[in-house]
């Protein structure tokens, strides 16, 4: 395309290098000179990310025309005899991720100008989100496991910094630490997985590793003696532990709801659209490994489906608008994970993409609501905002319809494709998984429209002061909403062919013939229109409509009903409100257990046993011994003379008797 | 070689500089400070040619010097370095400059003596890293204890007497056993004290085992390994900031260096035989000590325990006997030199202002010291082992190398990913984040230019080693390959 032609004058590597470096420079400028730039601190990050977005579009356009790149930038280190480099793998999957990441990032940057206006940490915030964009770009562009892990942990760091952005708040600090440590539990598995890759493949480079998969297939190992497992299953499961942490899959999901302590723009950027999808991206990237292990795929499928259904249920009882969307994010990530398990990698990436648009949209619209509500986040205290905030209302409705999977909005296509693919899967547990995902369609529509009706319809329930200040948000906030609403509408039918069915992604993904679910759907494909018509005869569509209807009935038309119903369902609600007890278990058993163990090791192990008995005890004993020995040193010459004579006699008798 | 007296310069320039500073005297404190700065810079400058002229393709000793010292006993003034020693010499001379600068204002009593102690200690520590004669090694090894003993004992905190005695006795008892082992080797190597000669001497398994254990006590105390580690938190708590920096960054490395220079090449069979013991103790350090670190209430104690846990990676890496893990251990030592030094300096910055090390007395420091908070965040991330910082490289390589031997060892070691994040971030949260509660905190002043210079330099190295470890590893590569070969060959006489 003519707008990208001038880039051909430069070596490709230089162009690719600018993509991560431009946001990094923006981050450094905002970080180092933010105190001077103050309210102008956003320019460098925005320009940096805009450059990255433009170049990402160029890369997408190029890969669409068959251009690919695989090469190194510099050698990070030589490990033993193995050089490990920082390098790029530019293919269709990377290009697609780049565009999604930089597009959402740019929208969020613009939105932040309005949302964070006047915050004392304005420059710091921009520095962080530009740094995040850099890290995420490094992650998706990587051509090796080391750089992947670098990006992986770097986005975790920025997430930690941003959740705790308002560092005066105790709750934000606790949430930040929780996010970091739970992610580290995942990274722990991930790191061991990388060590296993290094051990069995002798390389950390994607191409070398993927090319060697046939040689490793069939190799077994015994982690627990007597229980052989296939090497590839072991590696795939370890890598998936990493994905579970980052993509918030049960039981490592506990950090994501709490991450809502951070400012809303980052909830949209990091904890909905991009970072949390890193796990999905990683598994898709590793498809050559996962496809060789039915066990691993089965685990991925079940974990995904369980997360999708059960975390959606928790979303039903939340009252904080951001937490509802957070549980919805966990649930939608579950859908993507389930798709990975069903080998429908392209469907997972497709849902990742549509979700990035409609979920970022929902979060930013929620932020607009929170802004108008003077920082109130409880939906029970909202209501009737439809009239005051028309743009927010319409865009939020588009996001909600998309999330609920109503045709022709984007979310419908990606979600329905996932359910179809899982339905075709022959893996153990696929039947259960399909039912959970289908039932999840009802749950999703119910919690989404519960929130929607409570916020925008019905009688206003806020106090008079807040009500007097209600207003539609300024253009810096509404323009990104509109920008994101556009793909939330059309991205589904427009891209289901190239992305969802994988025509565009084929070169990046490996699918084994025995579970080629997407291939089957492709074989019967008759176009997006037929897909919609077909869905009208299937259960998920009607369940989604039912969910919307129930939400409308309960929370708009008959607001008294939920209270009556709560009484009948109290045990279920009790469990849901406690989020199945994950937090309680972690707090009382794990956190307290670790602290008590640490105190035990310190006070008993170090202080009493080692210092008390070994060190000071030895000192005491030596002291006592010295006291008794001191009696020998009487100071009288005849005592010493006597001792010398006795010694002499003993020595002489030794020589005479034994040697003589 | 043309520049064959470079190592002598590296040792004696700081020592002579220290003596000159002593001669200036405590009365003229400002002059003593400036002279100490000049001397430390000169001492750093003479170590740079060691790096620029270093030949990375050989494992042989470079810059060798050999002069008869006590000819009747075959004792030589024999110096030489390989890739394993080089970084620690540079680390020592580099950090001494930073210590001099960072102690500029917070030491007001006996300034000349204080600065002189550090300069003399620098020379002695460099001596340990380049001595190739056993007696010379032993003399440097013991002599460097004296300045540190004085630094803690004279400029230390309220319980300094207990701490110094504990420190001295522990390390001294260990070294005495090492002396016995060295004497035994002298008699068995044809009356030579040359460490290189020792490496060639055939030895039976039982002799090797005893020698290994004797070395073990000397080195394990220094590192320190569990269960002979309890002197370190006490020593750190009582030591002045500069003392803590050198103690953590350089002195702890002596023990690890000893394992590489003496234990592994001199008694390889015993090293293999007792590797299980080393691995178990290393894992205890990584897991048990990390848990102890979590519950500490004193900032310095917490960092001291975290040091022990980090050194666990070093010894673990050494005793799985492959080059990736050993190089990882060495890089971990170097990284710990930067990160722990910086962490202790950060505590020093706070202590200078508040005169307390209790975590409870802080909170909300980021509100008043944003520059400090940003720098300390970077070092905290180094401590956590985040990729991109130096802390990651060593741990990553050790986990990779250890997995080759046994996945379970790697799994246990990698728990530090979680525990390290736990104690570091919790410390950071309690000290730096939150709102200001204590009125003293509200009056804190952010870093001055001198402090930014010191911490900024360390920050640069933490990032450099993390983002581009290749040049650091290139230096050690040949020497480690050679060492791996040495350890794999049995020395038991046929």
Residue B110's contacts (CB-CB under 8 Å, 6 or more residues apart) are B26, B154, B155
Which positions ≥6 away from A34 have C-beta within 8 Å?
Answer: A41, A122, A123, A124, A126, A127
Q: CA B36, CA B95: separation in Å to the nearest integer? A: 13
User: If we measure between CA atoms, which residue out of A329, A368, A370 comes closest to residue A352?
Assistant: A329
| Total CB pairs under 8 A between chain A and B | 136
**Residue A527, pLDDT score:** 87
Q: Is the dihedral of CA B366, B370, B372, B373 positive or negative?
A: positive
Residues of A in contact with B414 (CB under 8 A): 188, 191-192, 195
State chain B's mean pLDDT as an integer: 92
Show the beta-strand stretches assigned E in B45-105.
62-70, 75-81
Task: Quote the minimal CA–CA distance from B429 to chain A in Å.
Answer: 7
- Asked if the model's pLDDT at residue B174 lies above 90, the reply is no
Contact A177 B425 (CB under 8 A): yes
pLDDT score of A34 more than 70: yes
> How far is the alpha carbon of B400 from chain A, nearest alpha carbon, in Å?
5
Chain B residues close to A611, C-beta within 8 Å = 230
Q: What is the mean pLDDT of chain A?
A: 90
Give tens-digit pLDDT for B191-228. Answer: 889 999 899 889 999 999 999 999 999 999 999 998 88
**Are B291 and A177 within 8 A, CB to CB?**
no
Phi/psi of residue B435, each to 5°? -95, 160
Q: Are A88 and A141 in contact (CB under 8 A)?
A: yes
pLDDT tens-digit profile of A50-70? 999 999 999 999 998 888 899
Q: Do B400 and A149 touch (CB under 8 A)?
A: no
Chain B residues within 8 A of A601 when measuring between CB atoms: 288-289, 291-292
Could you give the CA distance from residue B198 to residue A205 in angstroms, rounded to a whole number? 42
User: What are the chain A neighbours of B324 within 8 Å (beta carbons)?
Assistant: 79-80
User: Helix, strand, or coil here: A222?
Assistant: strand
Residue B467 pLDDT exceeds 80: yes
Which strand (E) or helix (H) includes residue A427? Answer: none
In this prediction, what percent of chain A has a pLDDT beyond 70?
A: 97
CA distance A188 to chain B (A): 6
Nearest CB to B324: which of A79, A149, A223? A79
pLDDT reading at A418 higher than 70: yes
Whether B3 shows a pLDDT value over 70: the answer reads no
Give Cα A34 to chain centroid, integer Å. 29
Angstroms from B450 CA to nearest CA on chain A: 18
What pLDDT does B1 receive? Answer: 46
Residues of A in contact with B419 (CB under 8 A): 594
pLDDT > 90: percent of chain B: 73
A412 with A419: CB under 8 angstroms?
no
Cβ separation of A191 and B414 shorter than 8 Å? yes
Are B469 and A192 within 8 A, CB to CB? no
**A191, A242, A593, A596: which to substitute to probe chain B, counting the most B Cβ within 10 Å?**
A191
For an interface test with A, give the residue of B291, B363, B402, B410 to mutate (most A CBs within 10 A): B291
Of A150, A223, A605, the CB nearest to B407: A223
At A658, the pLDDT band (50, 70, 90 cuts) reads low
> What average pLDDT does the segment A438-457 reach?
94
Cα four-point dihedral sign A240, A244, A250, A251: positive
CA A255 to chain B, closest CA, distance in angstroms equals 15
pLDDT at A634: 65
Q: How confident is the model at residue B426 (pLDDT cuts 50, 70, 90)?
A: very high
Element (H, E) at A82: strand A82-90
Q: Are A41 and A123 within 8 A, CB to CB? A: yes
Distance, in Å, from the CA atom of B201 to the CA atom of B262, rounded to the nearest integer, reads 12
Nearest to A610 among B227, B399, B477 (CB): B227
Q: State whether B399 and A153 contact (CB < 8 Å).
A: no
Q: How far apart are CA B259 and CA A306, in angstroms?
A: 51
Q: Are A552 and A449 in contact, with CB atoms under 8 Å apart?
A: yes
Average pLDDT of the segment spanning A23-35: 92
Question: pLDDT tens digits, residue range A270-315?
Answer: 888 899 999 999 999 999 999 999 999 999 999 999 999 999 999 9
Mean pLDDT is lowest, of A31-35, A435-439, A441-445, B250-254, for A31-35
Contact A605 B411 (CB under 8 A): no
Read off the pLDDT of residues A544-593 as tens digits, 9 standing for 90 and up.
999 999 988 888 888 777 777 777 778 888 888 888 888 888 888 888 88
Residue in A with minimal Cα distance to B389: A150
**Cα A476 to chain center, whole Å?**
27
If you measure CA to CA, which chain A residue comes closest to B305? A602
> Averaged over A504-522, what is the pLDDT?
89
Contact A74 B468 (CB under 8 A): yes
Calpha distance A126→B135 (Å, rounded): 59
Distance CA A425, CA B278 (A): 50
Question: Cα separation of B149 and B26, whole Å?
Answer: 19
Max CA distance (Å), chain A: 119
**Nearest CA to CA, how far is A488 from chain B (Å)?**
35
Nearest to B86 by CA among B67, B59, B68, B66: B59
Q: What's the CA gap between A408 and A414, in Å, rounded?
A: 11
Rounded to an integer, what distance in angstroms lies between the CA atom of residue B35 and that of residue B24? 9
Q: What angle do CA A363, A369, A371 make, to 5 degrees?
A: 100
Asked whether the beta carbons of A86 and A21 are under 8 A apart, the reply is: no
> CB-CB: which of B166, B399, B418 is closest to A184?
B418
pLDDT at B383 over 80: yes
Whether ipTM tops 0.85, in short, is yes
- Rounded Cα–Cα distance for residues B319 and A588 (Å): 37
- CB-CB neighbors (< 8 A) of B374 in chain A: 31
Chain B positions in Cβ-Cβ contact with residue A194 (cut-off 8 Å) = 400
Secondary structure of residue A371 in the 3-state scheme? helix
Q: Provide the shortest C-alpha distance from residue B167 to chain A (in Å).
A: 11
% of chain A beyond a pLDDT of 90: 59
**Which of A231-235, A602-606, A607-611, A647-651 has the highest average model confidence (pLDDT)?**
A231-235
The mean pLDDT of B241-249, rounded to a whole number, is 93
Q: Do A188 and B473 touch (CB under 8 A)?
A: no
Taking only the tens place, the pLDDT of each residue in B78-89 is 999 999 999 999
List chain B residues with CB under 8 Å of A614.
227
Q: Say yes or no for a CB contact (<8 Å) between B293 and A611.
A: no
Assign A87 to helix, strand or coil: strand
Of B24-28, B170-174, B388-392, least confident by mean pLDDT is B170-174
B470-488 vs B83-102: helix crossing angle, rounded to 10: 130
**Mean pLDDT (whole number) for A446-460:** 92
C-alpha distance from A617 to closest chain B C-alpha (Å) = 13
pLDDT at B2: 46
Which of A75, A167, A199 lies at the smallest CB-CB distance from B470? A75
Q: Determine the residue of chain A that is closest to B368 in CA distance.
A: A168
> SS3 of A434, please?
helix
User: What is the phi-psi region of residue A202: left when phi exceeds 0, alpha when psi lies from -120 to 50, beta otherwise?
Assistant: left
DSSP string, A560-605: THHHHHHHHTHHHHHHHHTGGGHHHHIIIIIIHHHHHHHHHIIIII
Name the minimum distance, in Å, from the CA of B12 to any CA of chain A: 35
């Amino acid at each position: 395309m003519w707008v990208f032609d001038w880039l051909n004058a430069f070596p490709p590597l230089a162009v690719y290098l600018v993509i991560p470096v431009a946001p990094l420079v923006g981050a450094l400028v905002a970080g180092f000179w933010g105190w001077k730039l103050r309210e102008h601190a956003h320019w460098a990050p925005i320009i940096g990310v805009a450059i990255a977005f433009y170049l990402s579009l160029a890369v997408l356009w190029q890969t669409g025309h068959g251009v690919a790149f695989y090469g190194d930038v510099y050698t990070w280190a030589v490990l033993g005899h193995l050089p490990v480099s920082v390098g790029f793998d530019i293919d269709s999957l990377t290009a697609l991720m780049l565009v999604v990441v930089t597009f959402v990032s740019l929208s969020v940057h613009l939105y932040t100008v309005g949302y964070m206006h006047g915050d004392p940490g304005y420059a710091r915030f921009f520095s962080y989100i530009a740094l995040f964009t850099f890290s995420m770009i490094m992650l998706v562009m990587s051509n090796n496991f080391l750089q992947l892990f670098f990006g992986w942990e770097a986005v975790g760091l920025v997430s930690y910094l941003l959740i705790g952005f308002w560092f005066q708040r105790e709750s934000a600090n606790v949430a930040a630490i929780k996010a970091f440590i739970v992610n580290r539990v995942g990274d722990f598995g991930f790191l061991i997985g990388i060590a296993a890759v290094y051990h069995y493949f002798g390389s950390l480079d994607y191409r070398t590793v993927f090319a060697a998969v046939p040689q490793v297939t069939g190799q077994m190992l015994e982690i627990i003696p007597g229980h052989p497992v296939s090497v590839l299953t072991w590696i795939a499961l370890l890598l998936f532990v990493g994905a579970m942490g980052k993509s918030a899959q049960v039981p490592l999901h506990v950090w994501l709801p709490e991450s809502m302590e951070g400012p809303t723009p980052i909830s949209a950027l990091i904890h909905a659209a991009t970072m949390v999808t890193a796990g999905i991206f990683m598994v898709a990237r590793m498809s050559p490994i996962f496809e060789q292990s039915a066990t691993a795929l089965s685990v991925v499928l079940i974990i995904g489906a369980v997360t999708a259904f059960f975390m959606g249920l928790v979303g039903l009882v939340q009252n904080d608008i951001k937490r509802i969307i957070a549980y919805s994010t966990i649930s939608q990530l579950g859908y993507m994970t389930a798709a990975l398990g069903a080998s429908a990698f392209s469907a997972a990436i497709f849902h990742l993409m549509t979700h990035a648009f409609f979920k970022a949209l929902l979060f930013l619209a929620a932020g607009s609501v929170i802004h108008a509500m003077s920082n109130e986040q409880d939906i029970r205290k909202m209501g009737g905002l439809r009239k005051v905030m028309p743009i927010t209302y319409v865009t939020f409705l588009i996001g909600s319809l998309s999330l609920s999977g109503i045709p022709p909005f984007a979310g419908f296509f990606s979600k329905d494709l996932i359910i179809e693919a899982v339905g075709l899967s022959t893996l153990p547990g696929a039947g259960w998984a399909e039912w959970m995902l289908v039932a999840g369609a009802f749950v999703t529509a119910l919690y989404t429209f519960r929130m929607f009706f409570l916020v925008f319809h019905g009688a206003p329930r806020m106090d008079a002061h807040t009500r007097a200040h209600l207003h539609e948000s300024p253009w810096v906030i509404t323009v990104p909403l509109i920008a994101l609403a556009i793909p939330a509408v059309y991205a589904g039918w427009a891209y289901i062919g190239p992305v969802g069915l994988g025509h565009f992604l084929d070169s990046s993904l490996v699918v084994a013939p025995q579970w080629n679910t997407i291939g089957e759907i492709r074989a019967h494909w008759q176009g997006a229109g037929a897909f919609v018509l077909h869905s009208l005869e299937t259960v998920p569509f009607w369940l989604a409509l039912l969910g919307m209807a129930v939400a409308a009935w309960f929370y708009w038309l008959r607001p008294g009903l939920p209270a009556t119903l709560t009484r009948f369902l109290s045990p279920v609600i009790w469990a849901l409100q406690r989020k199945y007890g994950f937090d309680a278990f972690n707090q009382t058993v794990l956190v307290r257990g670790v602290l008590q163990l640490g105190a035990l090791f310190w006070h008993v192990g170090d202080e009493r046993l080692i210092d008390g008995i070994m060190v000071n005890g030895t000192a005491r004993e030596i002291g006592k011994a010295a006291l008794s020995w001191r009696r020998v040193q009487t100071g009288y010459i005849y005592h010493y003379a006597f001792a010398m004579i006795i010694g002499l006699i003993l020595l002489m008798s030794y020589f005479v008797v034994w040697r003589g | 070689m043309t520049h064959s007296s470079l190592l002598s310069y590296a040792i004696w320039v700081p020592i002579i500089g220290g003596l000159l500073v002593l001669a200036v005297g405590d009365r003229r404190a400002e002059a003593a400070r400036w002279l100490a700065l000049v001397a430390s810079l000169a001492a750093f400058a003479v170590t740079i040619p060691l790096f620029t002229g270093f030949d990375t393709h050989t494992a042989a000793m470079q810059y060798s010097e050999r002069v008869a010292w006590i000819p009747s006993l075959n004792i030589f003034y024999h110096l030489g370095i390989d890739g394993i020693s080089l970084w620690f010499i540079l680390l020592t001379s580099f950090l001494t400059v930073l210590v001099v600068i960072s102690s500029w204002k917070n030491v007001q009593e006996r300034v000349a003596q204080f600065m002189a102690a550090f300069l003399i200690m620098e020379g002695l520590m460099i001596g340990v890293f380049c001595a190739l004669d056993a007696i010379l090694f032993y003399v440097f090894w013991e002599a460097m204890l004296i300045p540190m003993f004085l630094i803690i004992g004279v400029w230390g905190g309220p319980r300094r007497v207990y701490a110094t005695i504990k420190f001295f006795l522990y390390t001294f008892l260990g070294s005495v056993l090492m002396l016995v082992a060295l004497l035994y080797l002298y008699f068995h190597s044809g009356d030579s004290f040359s460490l290189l000669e020792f490496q060639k001497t055939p030895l039976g398994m039982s002799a090797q085992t005893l020698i290994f254990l004797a070395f073990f006590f000397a080195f394990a105390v220094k590192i320190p390994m569990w269960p002979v580690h309890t002197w370190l938190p006490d020593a750190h708590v009582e030591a002045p900031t500069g003392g803590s920096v050198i103690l953590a960054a350089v002195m702890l490395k002596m023990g690890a260096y000893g394992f590489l220079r003496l234990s592994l090449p001199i008694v390889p069979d015993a090293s293999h035989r007792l590797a299980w013991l080393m691995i178990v103790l290393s894992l205890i350090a990584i897991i048990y000590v990390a848990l102890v670190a979590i519950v500490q209430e004193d900032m310095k104690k917490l960092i001291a325990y975290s040091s022990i846990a980090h050194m666990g990676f070093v010894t673990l890496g050494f005793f799985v006997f492959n080059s990736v893990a050993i190089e990882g251990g060495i890089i971990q030592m170097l990284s710990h030199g930067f990160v722990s030094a910086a962490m202790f300096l950060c505590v020093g910055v706070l202590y200078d202002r508040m005169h307390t090390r209790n975590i409870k007395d802080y909170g909300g420091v980021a509100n008043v010291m944003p520059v400090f908070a940003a720098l300390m965040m970077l070092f905290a991330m180094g401590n956590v082992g985040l990729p991109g910082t130096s802390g990651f490289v060593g741990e990553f390589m050790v986990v990779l190398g250890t997995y080759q031997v046994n996945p379970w060892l790697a799994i246990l070691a990698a728990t530090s990913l979680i525990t390290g994040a736990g104690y570091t971030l919790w410390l950071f949260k309690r000290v730096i984040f939150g709102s200001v509660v204590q009125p003293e905190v509200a009056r804190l002043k952010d870093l001055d230019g001198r402090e930014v210079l010191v911490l900024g330099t360390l920050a640069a190295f933490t990032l450099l080693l993390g983002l581009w470890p290749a040049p650091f590893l290139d230096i050690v590569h040949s020497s480690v390959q050679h060492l791996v070969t040495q350890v794999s060959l049995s020395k038991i006489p046929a």
